[in-house]
Each structure stands twice: as structure tokens, then as C-alpha cells.
Structure 1
């Protein structure tokens, strides 16, 4: 289940409802996408805004977080005015994800960046560690979804066919007319999962990746 969700860009956050998680069990990839999409866009994006507000309320770890928090607040306001504004906000969201991940692992003031190789290596090292089942789901979901999002991809296929990845977005190789509201939601959820997955921050800060 986690593997299929991650390959389609969906991460399980700490705020995801257990009964909804059970509903996903045994479903096809298309059914999972439909369930996740409905969960986050129904009632005018109610669940999405709830989780986004939790992020805004608890984003700060250091004083230098304030500029990124201000960006999140502006994003929140623009989305509330018109959710279609996400089309010009997704690149900013990706940069905030980059920042928050390096901050969580204690490397924000270094030359390190969000790195797929290190994420793969870290997951292999700690996938068998003892932890409650729900913690394992959020832990593996975050690392697997980040891994998929960090795929380098191939630009020669043209902007009409590139995969939705950090690489394609940040290098302007993904046609913005292809963006969907769920694409933006997935990036914000990755920031949320990164911020609140204490298993990641605790372990990464205490060991060399």
C-alpha cells in the first residue's frame, strides 16, 4: 500500500485518519488515488487546510525559519482566495520542502541538499528498526515518497511528458499547464510529513547518513 501511494506522490502524514488508512488496504492504484484525492479536496479542501494550518502553527524550530513561515502564510492566504493560485506557488513550496528537510536532519547550515542517494541508504539502514506499526507507516511513507519525488528523470522527452519531480519543477522542465491541485497538495503534505515525523529527525540527527 505505502509503495503504491509513494509512487503516485502521496505521503501518509501524522494527521491521516486511521479509518481512512484501513480503507486503502487492498485497493488498486486507481482506487487509492481516488480515495486520497477525495479525502483532501472534498468540502473545499477541508482536510488539506486543516493539516496545512497545523504546519503553520508548528513550523518554527529556529529563528531563521521565520522567512519560510511567512511564505507559507502567504501561500495559505492566496489559496483561500482562489485555490487555482497553486499554479504559481508550487515552486516555492518545493523550495520550502528542501529547506525543512535539511533543517530536520541538522544540516541546514552546510552544503548538503535533499539527496536521493542518502534517503535510500538511510531507509535501508533503519527499515527494520523496532517501532509501532503506525510510526513505521509514516516513516516509510515519507522516505519512499521523497525518494520518488527526487527522481532525476529525463528532460529530452519534453516538458509535456516529464515526470512531476523536484528536479523537473525547479529546472522549469514541467509544463505548468499540466499541474493539478493534487500535485500541489502532495508537495505541501511532504513538508508536513517532514516536519512532524519525529522518527526521522531523531534518528537522522543522531547518526551519520
Structure 2
């Protein structure tokens, strides 16, 4: 091959490569879900509820689902003050505590949002672990660390009091369970080019 034909060969190869990239490409999206649960026990719940003020919360320990840290805020007397003592609501709020794994904390924060759904249930002592009350929300988009799902009512204060009275003598504690499902869409791109590249290269030009 002469030196004068070398630039023409490069142009041919470059044009062939561009043609291959435009002629055949493949992309895919797949759904990934990570599910986890956290249990938080409150002993002597009747005394805790009697001492709590409207808007006062109990925080669970941080727990990890889908590579992110979460906390559940539990409000024995509701998020807002009620005009009647028995009209309050038992409420919960899921908090995205941190959206980065510990070893990422030296790096800049990732800009992507986190999508998650949650289900919160309350089980009573003496009830065999059965869920007496339950609520669910989601999927919800969390837009950064310390963002919230928004308060959700699980039961009224009086409903939970009455349920505990029915099991009086078997214990006065409750177990709050929070099930979280983190959902993400992952994209991948694969360029299939070898066959097209071979077919587009003019072999005669490089002889």
C-alpha cells in the first residue's frame, strides 16, 4: 500500500466506523428492587403515649435498604395537635436519612433521586405477632438526604388504646414494622459493530 493511499484508507475506516455506530446499536432498561424490613419495639406503650405530646416523635435506629440509610419517625399522638384528646392520630413518616453508602461519603453527593415504597404495621404483645394496624405509601420520590415520604396515619389514638386494653395482662408493648422497597431503573448500552464493520470496510483499498 502506497503512502498516498494511507489517508484515503483512514477516511474509509472512519466513515465505516461511523456507519456501523449508526446502523446497529442496542440499549436495554431493567427494573431493580431491593426490599428490607426494620422492627422497632416500644415497651409500656400506654405510658409512652400518655406522656407524649402532639407532634412529639419516636425515631427508630437507622436501617439500610437498597444501599441507603432510612429512619422511621413514629408519632404516638399525631403530627399536629388535636382539639380532642381522643381525636388524635397515630402517624408515621419515612425519612431518607442518607442516600450514600459509607465509603461514598468522601465523594461528591450523587445527584439522582431515590424511589421507594413502604408499608408500616403495628403488632401488639399477646396477639401472636399479628398486625393490628397497617398503612402503606408509594412509590414515592425522595429528592435527597433527610427528605420525607410525608406523614401517614396508621390508626387513631383511641383505636390503639382499645386494642391494648383487649390484650391487657398479656403485655403493654407494641412492635412497629417498616417494610421498604427501593426501586431503580438501570440502563445499559451495547454496540454491536464487528459484523457491520467487516462488511463496510473496502478491503481492496488497503491492499
Q: Do the structures match in fold with TM over 0.5?
A: no
Q: TM-score, structure 2 length as denominator?
A: 0.22
Q: Tell which structure's C-alpha radius of gyration is larger.
A: 2
Higher strand share: 2
Q: TM-score, structure 1 length as denominator?
A: 0.22
